[in-house]
């Protein structure tokens, strides 16, 4: 028969094992308890209101199913722009994206409840959607990218494109060997703003998984842009990798000669050119941009994108959406229409 001391020892071991099991339960699934804490915090601030709707949109003979869910955390301000955050992401980005969204909510959006548009070339999982909704205050829209916006146009020689990727990979050009990166750059350059989910909005704020917001934003950047007549806002400007855009400048100059009627004076071409008129490769880093959707939908920008797309440089080289957006801004806008958000603390690796 076990002595009392032995029995107490057995109870102690059993209690330790039970405690470890509880801790493991709470920590599993990639620290998902943080989402519960976040949801509880939002619930304490105000009464949650949730509504779900499913709509079907027909786009170029393809059916696109969109789910929309509203979970406002606080009453939005009386005045708000017709705007949304837009995020190109995948199911595998969930952890990094939740961390970025939690910061964005804390620093800004919990006081404004702007909606989010999440876009993916593959269907979002139910788990992705459920866990995203738990960390944001605004309405969530989840959209599938049409195949024709994430594939090769018929005029692209895919054999040549594959040879270019192989060569750039061997030369260790950043993302030079990636096929999906090229589709992403082309999509961000000319298609994201044409998605049906974006039709209802006039302004967008681009967000990417893994970015960080270091400071509180105590005003509404959307309203600032709208009321001050701005069209494009950025935080960081750097130079593009020269190996990725060997013919982008010449292709842009060809467009300007072909359509001088679309290029106003004054403009911002001085930002992207040296004293001798050559291309200096400066661009606005487009992983953060707050801008007018009407600008991207304009005849002049669409004509420029179509000219670039027909040239094939998204696939035969590795044209990025940052220099494409920046050249479009430089050609079509003037200094008074562009704003540097130097007061927004922002980080995107590897800088």
User: Dihedrals φ, ψ of 207, to 5°?
Assistant: -130, 145
pLDDT means over runs of 10, the chain (351 residues): 56 61 48 45 40 39 45 65 98 98 98 98 98 98 98 98 98 98 98 98 98 96 98 97 98 98 97 96 97 98 98 98 98 98 94 69
- So what's the pLDDT on residue 48? 38
How remote is the C-alpha of 132 from its chain's centroid? Answer: 15
Decide if 41 is catalytic: no
Q: Which of 105, 188, 240, 289 is catalytic?
A: 289
- So what's the pLDDT on residue 350? 80
- So what's the pLDDT on residue 61? 38
- So what's the pLDDT on residue 77? 72
From the list 36, 53, 52, the residue with the least C-alpha distance to 44 is: 36
Given a contact cutoff of 8 angstroms between Cβ atoms, the answer to whether 309 and 186 are in contact is yes
Torsion of CA 305, 303, 222, 110, to 10 degrees: -40
DSSP assignment of 278-326, as one string? -B--EEE-TTSEEEEHHHHHSHHHHHHHHHHHHHTHHHHS---HHHHHH
- So what's the pLDDT on residue 252? 98
Residue 95 CB-density burial (10 A; 0-12 exposed, 13-18 middle, 19+ buried):
middle
Nearest-5° Cα angle at 130, 124 to 131: 100
State the residue for tokens 């430089």: 330
4-31 and 33-45 helices, crossing angle to 10°: 70
- So what's the pLDDT on residue 224? 98
Between CA 341 and CA 339 the distance in angstroms is 6
């Amino acid at each position: 028969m076990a002595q009392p001391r032995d029995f107490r020892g057995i109870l102690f071991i059993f209690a330790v094992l039970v405690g470890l099991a509880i801790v493991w339960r709470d920590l599993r699934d990639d620290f998902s308890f943080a989402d519960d804490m976040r949801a509880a915090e939002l619930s304490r601030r105000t009464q949650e209101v949730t509504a779900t709707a499913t709509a079907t949109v027909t786009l170029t003979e393809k059916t696109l199913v969109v789910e929309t869910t509203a979970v406002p955390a606080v009453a939005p301000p009386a005045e708000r722009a017709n705007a949304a955050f837009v995020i190109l992401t995948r199911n595998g980005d969930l952890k990094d994206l939740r961390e970025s969204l939690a910061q964005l909510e804390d620093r800004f959006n919990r006081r404004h409840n702007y909606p989010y548009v999440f876009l993916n070339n593959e269907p979002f999982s139910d788990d992705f959607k459920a866990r995203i909704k738990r960390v944001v205050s605004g309405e969530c829209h989840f959209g599938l990218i049409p195949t024709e916006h994430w594939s090769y146009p018929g005029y692209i020689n895919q054999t040549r494109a594959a040879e270019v990727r192989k060569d750039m990979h061997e030369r260790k050009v950043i993302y030079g060997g990636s096929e999906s990166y090229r589709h992403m750059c082309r999509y961000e350059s000319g298609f994201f703003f044409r998605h049906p989910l974006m039709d209802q909005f006039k302004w967008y704020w681009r967000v990417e998984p893994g970015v960080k917001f270091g400071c509180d934003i105590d005003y509404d950047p959307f309203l600032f842009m709208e009321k001050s007549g701005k069209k494009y806002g950025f935080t960081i400007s750097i130079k593009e990798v020269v190996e990725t855009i060997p013919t982008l400048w010449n292709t842009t100059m060809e467009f300007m000669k072909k359509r001088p009627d679309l290029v106003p004076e004054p403009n911002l071409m001085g930002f992207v050119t040296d004293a001798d008129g050559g291309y200096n490769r400066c661009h606005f880093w487009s992983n953060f941009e707050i801008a007018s959707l009407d600008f991207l939908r304009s005849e002049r920008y669409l004509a420029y994108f179509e000219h670039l797309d027909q040239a094939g440089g998204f696939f035969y080289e590795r044209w990025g959406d940052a220099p494409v957006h920046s050249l479009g801004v430089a050609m079509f806008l003037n200094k008074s229409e562009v704003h540097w958000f130097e007061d927004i603390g922002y980080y995107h690796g590897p800088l």
